[in-house]
Amino acid sequence: MLKKRVYISSVKEGPVVIAGWVREIRDFGSLKFIILADRSGEIQITAKKGETPENILKILDGVGKEWVIAVEGIGRKNEKAPNGVEIVPKEVKILSESESVLPLEIRSKAKAELPTRLDNRFLDIRKPEVRAIFKIRSEISNTIRNFFYERGFLEIHTPKIVASATESGANVFPILYFEKEAFLAQSPQFYKQAAMAGGLERVFEIAPAFRAEKHHTIRHLTEYTSVDFEISFIDSYEDLMRIAEELIVYTLKNIKDRCENEFKILKKEIEIPTAPFPRITMREAYKILKEKGIEVEYGDELDTESERKFGEIIKEKFGSEFVFLTEFPWKVRPFYTYRKEDEIEWTCSFDLIYKGVEIVTGGQREHRYEKLIENCKEKGINPETIDFYIRMFRYGVPPHGGCGLGLDRLVMLLLDLPNVREATLFPRDPERLEP
């Protein structure tokens, strides 16, 4: 029977086989309605005495909520049924039973607490509104991948078990690698740059990254999905910002059409931004915030509240929910960041802020061997501890740079979800290691 199965959303009049979860049962004695759901939607099964075979009525009498069944029958029009079509069953097969008391109700209007939902994520994602989030997320990933392929990028896959920290030793997860100490990768940074040294010129990766930060916020995870790209032969970090904003506009345009039904389920309309996005230097940001009575130590990064307020100011001033914050202080950027030639305390780097939250970090990289050595020493890093990385710059590396975009945050902000964990299928944070 299952070989003939189609998704519920494609059911029309005539013979059909569907399968899914029993979401609701309405029993009126001689008439029984069963709402069956699969990932594409819901449909009504109508079983009526005198029309439906007795053996099928008997099977349906024993069926409970969230049982998994397959139904072969005839599709027919019924304006009162979901999507205007119902199925008259001719054969029913029980595939799996469910306990009668669920740890999480699927159709209840009362909202369960997020920890309860995450503890029972397998049930939570049966809800249409939750499933819609992950359909949109899937389409975003697919669209991003298409964007890079259309522009001549190569997709790479880099190690997630590494011998040394990418940025600092403070925020890494150490692991036992046989008899050696190793770490979970904070980012593919060194390997993206190795691809530039190898002449691949344009690469991207969509993969997990790990940060051992004990943050308990709505925007932080210890494992997140990072969209990274790196390109060679750039003139400046402006080349990178252009690609980043093109990526955002391209992605939102495409998913608006492809996920129309999901946006309806979530009652969400998205606006397509216009490029170029505003560009504001850190020094200008300090002044803008100070004018609004928000003091940020000169030379420091913006904290969460300052970042949020900055986003509001830009929205009011430029009408844009996106803004590039540029030229970060050298003291807050990694050793591999390219410094401004005429102002070495500032860097050719940036963040992209969306709705007051940083979603992209990027910039030009230092590609000159001697400068890298100097930078390491200034940051208190022994170059010998990352020799596998440093030595490739002795053999000719072009000017290059790249970005990392947090996919989880992008989904959260796009859909105005209250917590990044809602945008992550099985989130990891300082307390959550299961499911």
Q: Does residue 61 register a pLDDT over 70? A: yes
* pLDDT tier, 221 (very low <50, low <70, confident <90, very high otherwise): very high
The token pair that represents 234 in the structure block: 């750039």
Question: How high is the pLDDT of residue 208?
Answer: 97
Strand residues in 160-255 grouped as ranges (E): 161-162, 174-177, 180-184, 202-210, 223-232
The answer to whether residues 36 and 146 belong to one domain is: no
The answer to whether residues 222 and 87 belong to one domain is: no
Question: How high is the pLDDT of residue 216?
Answer: 86
Q: Does residue 110 register a pLDDT over 90? A: no
Question: How high is the pLDDT of residue 83?
Answer: 81
Question: How high is the pLDDT of residue 167?
Answer: 59
Q: Does residue 168 register a pLDDT over 70? A: no
Task: Look at the chain and report how many structural domains it folds into.
Answer: 2
Question: How high is the pLDDT of residue 3?
Answer: 87
Average pLDDT for residues 61-74, to the nearest whole number? Answer: 96
Task: Tell me, yes or no, whether 184 lies in a domain.
Answer: no
The domain that holds 76 is classified in CATH as 2.40.50.140
The answer to whether residues 141 and 22 belong to one domain is: no
Q: Given 44, 77, 96, which residue is the final one in a domain?
A: 96
Q: Given 74, 96, 118, which residue is the final one in a domain?
A: 96
Alpha helices in 63-127 (DSSP H): 114-119, 121-124
Are 233 and 400 contacting, i.e. CB atoms less than 8 angstroms apart?
Answer: yes
The answer to whether residues 79 and 134 belong to one domain is: no
The answer to whether residues 67 and 206 belong to one domain is: no
Average pLDDT for residues 94-106, to the nearest whole number? Answer: 94
The answer to whether residues 372 and 247 belong to one domain is: yes
The domain that holds 292 is classified in CATH as 3.30.930.10
Quick: pLDDT tens for 192-217.
999 999 999 999 999 999 999 888 89
Task: Tell me, yes or no, whether 255 lies in a domain.
Answer: yes
Q: How far apart are CA 113 and CA 421, in angstroms?
A: 12
The answer to whether residues 138 and 25 belong to one domain is: no
* pLDDT tier, 164 (very low <50, low <70, confident <90, very high otherwise): confident
The answer to whether residues 87 and 135 belong to one domain is: no
* pLDDT tier, 80 (very low <50, low <70, confident <90, very high otherwise): confident
| pTM for the predicted model, two decimal places | 0.93
Task: Tell me, yes or no, whether 361 lies in a domain.
Answer: yes
Residue 367: how many other CB atoms lie within 10 Å: 21
Residue 299 structural domain = 128-157+194-423
The answer to whether residues 86 and 149 belong to one domain is: no
Task: Tell me, yes or no, whether 179 lies in a domain.
Answer: no
Question: How high is the pLDDT of residue 259?
Answer: 96
Q: Mean pLDDT, the chain, as a whole number?
A: 94
Question: How high is the pLDDT of residue 170?
Answer: 67
Task: Tell me, yes or no, whether 354 lies in a domain.
Answer: yes
The answer to whether residues 329 and 404 belong to one domain is: yes
Average pLDDT for residues 365-376, to the nearest whole number? Answer: 96
Task: Tell me, yes or no, whether 313 lies in a domain.
Answer: yes
Task: Tell me, yes or no, whether 164 lies in a domain.
Answer: no
The answer to whether residues 87 and 208 belong to one domain is: no
Task: Tell me, yes or no, whether 92 lies in a domain.
Answer: yes
The answer to whether residues 89 and 133 belong to one domain is: no
Q: What are the residues facing 405 on neighbouring strands?
A: 227, 360
Q: Does residue 169 register a pLDDT over 80? A: no
Q: Does residue 365 register a pLDDT over 60? A: yes
Average pLDDT for residues 355-365, to the nearest whole number? Answer: 97
Q: Say how many CA atoms lie within 13 Å of 180 toward its Cβ.
A: 7
Q: Does residue 165 register a pLDDT over 80? A: no
Q: Given 76, 96, 116, which residue is the final one in a domain?
A: 96
